[in-house]
Amino acid sequence: MGYRWVDSQELALDLMEAHPEVDPLKLHFTELREWILALENFDDDPKHCGERVLEAIQLAWIAEMD
């Protein structure tokens, strides 16, 4: 089974690997959502995503960069 929306840490790590040149602080949530849906390891209902979920993933990505 793949990652779900609640797996913010794992999703952040995959996003860092897939988009190493990106500053997550400058990323729009719409783009972040599309990138998550495109991850090979992601397996959750796209409808279960909201702003808080995306914010948690973005914050995890920022934390991993430090």
> Which domains, and CATH codes, for the chain?
8-65 (1.10.10.600)
Distance, in Å, from the CA atom of 32 to the CA atom of 47, rounded to the nearest integer, reads: 15
For 25, other C-beta atoms within 10 Å of its C-beta total: 9
Dump pLDDT digits (tens) for 5-56. Answer: 999 999 999 999 999 999 999 999 999 999 999 999 999 999 999 999 999 9
- This prediction has a pTM of 0.93
For 16, other C-beta atoms within 10 Å of its C-beta total: 15
